[in-house]
Amino acid sequence: MANASKPGFDVDAYLGNAGPGRRIVQLNSSQAFFSQGDPADCVFYLHRGRAKISVLSSTGKEATIRLVAANNFFGEKAMAAEPGLRVTTATAVTACTALRIARPEFLRVMRKEQDFSNLFSSFLLDCNLRTQADLVDQLFNRAEKRLARVLLLLAEYRQSGEEDTLIQPISQEALASMIGSTRPRVNAFLSRFRKLGFIEYDGRIRVHKSLLNVFLRD
């Protein structure tokens, strides 16, 4: 059984500051935290901004498989028993600030600090459940419904009590790769959502909760 955290260990303070084996990194939009094929030697914790996790096929087709919001880990492959090389690329969608934690330091704090271990375990469970939900979404929902779900997730209605939310900038190409469709179809769906009053779209997208009607119907 893992040992309990030492008295006085502050998870928030640990994740919020640089120290042995960890440093603060700042990236501009479109810069990469790591690329597919890089050594998986560290884990990141996002403080500010939004990042995307994508994969590039052997034919050169890119697919966005996950968006990372503030207060979330990414690069967790570094914690595998034999991490090897990165199988994804992590790119800043907006200006980002993150904590980079080297694998040896991450392993140390996981072993010694129960609170930190519990936090990371909860993150992994949430990722697993989200992956299962995404798989069901891809298998059983039509593209229009998948887009509605992605927009609602980007608007983070699980944490917001507001009636509408202006989401972070994201291209139609990125949305298309996330729902397994094409940019022209995404453009058509967005135009339809706007005409129905579910979103406002003028460069950036403001999502209204009425968009739930698309996701919940059928």
Residue 97 belongs to domain with CATH number: 2.60.120.10
| CB-based contact 157:170 (threshold 8 Å) | no
**Strand partners of residue 205:** 201
Given a cut of 70, whether residue 26 has pLDDT beyond it is: yes
Question: For residue 114, how many other CB atoms are within 10 A of its CB?
Answer: 16
Contact (CB, 8 A) for 51 and 74: yes
Residue among 41, 133, 44 nearest 86 (CA): 41
As a whole number of angstroms, the longest Cα–Cα distance in the chain is 57
- Say if residue 151's pLDDT is above 60: yes
96 and 24 both lie in a single domain: yes
- Is residue 159 one of the residues assigned to a domain? yes
pLDDT at residue 109 tops 90: yes
Q: Which domain holds residue 181?
A: 141-216
202 vs 42: which has the higher pLDDT:
42
* Same domain assignment for residues 117 and 45: yes
Q: Within a domain: residue 75?
A: yes
pLDDT in tens, 179-199: 878 889 999 999 989 998 989
Q: What is the CATH number of the domain that holds 168?
A: 1.10.10.10
SS3 60: coil
What is the band of 63 on the pLDDT scale with cuts at 50, 70, 90? confident
pLDDT mean across residues, the chain? 84
pLDDT 10s digits, 74-93: 999 999 988 999 999 999 98
What would the DSSP string read from start to end of 55-121? EE-TTS-EEEEEEE-TT-EE-GGGGSSS--B-SSEEEESS-EEEEEEEHHHHHHHHHH-HHHHHHHH
Q: What are phi and psi of 2, to 5 degrees?
A: -70, 150
Q: Of 90, 107, 132, which residue is a domain's last?
A: 132
Q: Is residue 147 in some structural domain?
A: yes
Average pLDDT, integer, range 208-217: 75
pLDDT at 4 over 80: no
Same domain for 105 and 22, yes or no, is yes
Cα separation of 176 and 171, whole Å? 9
Task: Locate 180 and state its tokens.
Answer: 């397994």
State what percent of residues in the chain have pLDDT above 90: 40
Where do the DSSP E strands lie in 10-61? Answer: 22-27, 32-34, 42-48, 51-56
Q: Report pLDDT for 162.
A: 53
The pLDDT score that the predictor gives to residue 108 is 96
**Dist CA 51 CA 89 (whole Å):** 10
Question: Where is the domain boundary, 132, 160, 185?
Answer: 132
The pTM score is 0.70
Of 132, 159, 174, the domain-final residue: 132
- CA–CA–CA angle 113, 119, 121 (5° rounding): 100
Question: What was the pLDDT predicted at 172?
Answer: 87
Read off the pLDDT of each residue in 138-153 and give the average, rounded to a whole number: 76
